[in-house]
Amino acid sequence: MVNKMSHTKEDFLPINVKALTNNEQIRPSITFWADVWRRFKKNKLALIGLVGVIIVSLFGIFGPYVTPYSYSYQQTDYSNVPPTFPVYRVDENHYVFLTGQYRLLLISNEGEIVSRLLLTATDPINKIYTYRYNDESVIIDFSYRVVPSRMNLGIDYTVTYNNSTVSQPERTIHNKTFLLGSDNLGRDLLTRIMYGARISLSVALIATLVNLVIGVAYGSISAMSGGSTDNIMMRIVDIIDSIPLLIYVILLMVIINKPGSGYWTIILTLGTLYWVGMARLVRGQILGMKEQEFVLAARVLGVSNNRIIVRHMIPNTIGPIIVSLTMMIPTAVFTESFLSFIGLGVSAPQASWGTLANDAISNLQTYPYQLFFPSIAIAITMFAFNFLGDGLRTALDPRLRKG
């Protein structure tokens, strides 16, 4: 009894793939980076950080093209003008504002500085200064600051013009000429902060990239060589790690700094000293990967060591590298402003945020805004990069993946 199997032609037709897959639960596959972005997006703080980084970068890149001033353009007549100031009315369209250095500035109704009024006479005994405006005298009486009987009247000084005397400022007006005020040489602070962003961020970025290249090369060579080469290379890293690097950054700055070259000196010193962490990170990652099958497969196919590092290892460590990069940039911004602050930064008239803060220290009590704005810029940048780095770390770390 042989049951002869019979096949018809229909049995050999291709099956309907569509009908078959329609029954399966499938989702479109997500690439690694799409997955990272998906998780990154969920993190509000990280998004804020990303936006902050973008804004600060745009501020530094395009800001200087937008402002009417250059970072070194000085109008010494208008030095130390704050971003907002009290004004006294002189005529329909104009106010006057007295600067901390007893300069009388003519201010338009909109808050623009029109001109500086000429000081024609000073009476140091009675504390009366006379300025000239439209061929008339503007008399400022400071005696309220010194005469005991007048000191408690709540009046700072009086402004007399055209026989009318004003003792209280009419209002506080926003400075439209210098939006964030001007510095002690009459340079626009906003413009200088924009240029400062350019210098601080570019120093940080270039120094970090130099660190990246050195660190990745050092770490991967050390890990791939193994044995005593690895041992010696890591002992060197140990030694560098046990040195307070900032002292050597300062020392190196002293040694190689020539007048006018502060910018490149900072990049060089920061770029060549801080790669140790990156080298350790890359080495650790590569050691973990070295014995895995895909590396063995590449080796069997006859791929050279260098090529394995460049094509297989580094792309696989890119996540931790990026995280460490975003953490290194704020550190570099920080170190740069620190160095500038103790007087080892870029040379005048160039400005970084650190030099701006340093310049502002000496007249902090009188013109605090000169310190506040650069400090805010530094803090915002550090904030943004830190949040971005934290977010990237969470998004890129597969162990923290929830599903």
Q: Measured from the CB atom, is 73 or 383 closer to another protein?
A: 383
Q: Where does residue 166 rank: exposed (0-12), middle (13-18), buried (19+ CB within 10 A)?
A: middle
Considering only 272, 347, 383, 397, the residue that binds another protein (CB under 8 A) is: 383
255 contributes a contact to another protein by CB under 8 A: yes
Two structure tokens written together for 274: 């801080």
Residue 31 φ then ψ, to 5°:
-75, 165
Q: Contact region for another protein (CB under 8 A) — 26-34, 56-64, 243-251, 300-308?
A: 243-251
Q: Map residues 285-304 to x or -, x wherever contact with another protein holds by CB under 8 A.
A: --xx----------------
* Interface residue with another protein, options 325, 378, 388, 395 (CB under 8 A): 378
Give the residue, chosen from 220, 352, 355, 386, that forms a contact with another protein under the rule CB under 8 A. 386
Residue 104 or 356 having the CB closest to another protein = 356
* Torsion sign (Cα): 148, 154, 160, 164: negative
The tokens describing 280, both together, are: 């350790």
How far apart are the C-alpha atoms of 157 and 168, rounded to whole Å? 8
Minimum distance, C-beta of residue 248 to another protein, in the bound complex (Å): 8
Closest contact distance (angstroms) between CB of 13 and another protein is 55
Angle, to 10 degrees, between the axis of helix 245-256 and the axis of helix 262-273? 140
Q: Burial level of 183, CB count in 10 A (0-12/13-18/19+)?
A: buried
Whole-number Å distance between alpha carbons of 206 and 183: 29
Chain positions 39 to 58 lying near another protein, rule: CB under 8 A, are none
315 near another protein, judged by CB under 8 A: no
Taking the complex as a whole, the smallest distance from the CB of residue 330 to another protein amounts, in Å, to 7
Q: Does 330 bind another protein (CB under 8 A)?
A: yes
Q: Does 324 bind another protein (CB under 8 A)?
A: no
| Amino acid present at 293 | E
Q: Which helix (H) or strand (E) holds 128?
A: strand 128-133
Peptide bond into 330 cis (omega under 30): no
Closest CB to another protein among 67 and 184?
184
* Binding span for another protein by CB under 8 A among 141-149, 160-168, 237-245, 305-313: 237-245
**Residue 365 binds to another protein (criterion: CB under 8 A):** yes
Q: Among candidates 122, 316, 101, 358, which has minimal Cα distance to 223? A: 316
Angle at 325 between CA 60 and CA 220, to 5 degrees: 140
215 is a contact residue toward another protein (CB under 8 A): no
Select from 81-89, 103-111, 188-196, 231-239 the region that touches another protein (CB under 8 A). 231-239
Q: Which of 61, 166, 250, 303 binds another protein (CB under 8 A)?
A: 250
Nearer to another protein (CB atom), residue 177 or residue 222: 222
Q: How many residues bind another protein (CB under 8 A)?
A: 40
Least gap, CB of 371 to another protein (angstroms): 6
Four-point Cα dihedral 86, 88, 94, 97, nearest 10? -50
Which residues face 131 on adjacent strands?
Answer: 119, 138
Contacts of 287 (CB under 8 A, 6+ apart): 223
Per CB under 8 A, 204 contacts another protein: no
**Applying CB under 8 A, does 379 fall inside the site for another protein?**
yes
Residue 2 engages another protein in binding (rule: CB under 8 A): no
- As to burial, measured by CB atoms within 10 angstroms (0-12 exposed, 13-18 middle, 19+ buried), residue 391 is buried
Q: Which among 180, 177, 186 is positioned nearest to 107, based on CA atoms?
A: 177
Q: Given the complex with another protein, which of 86 and 284 has the nearer CB atom?
A: 284
Residue 401 tokens, joined: 């993946």
373 binds another protein, rule: CB under 8 A: no
How far apart (Å, rounded) are the C-alpha atoms in residues 15 and 335? 67
Neighbours of 129 (CB within 10 A): 19
Taking alpha carbons only, the member of 163, 143, 138 closest to residue 153 is 143
Q: Is 260 in the site for another protein (CB under 8 A)?
A: no
- Least distance from another protein to the Cβ atom of residue 230, Å: 9
- Comparing CB distances to another protein, the nearer of 74 and 375 is 375
**Contacting positions for another protein (CB under 8 A):** 234-235, 238-239, 242-244, 246-248, 250-252, 254-255, 283-284, 287-288, 330, 334, 337-338, 341-344, 357, 361, 364-365, 368, 371, 375, 378-379, 382-383, 386-387
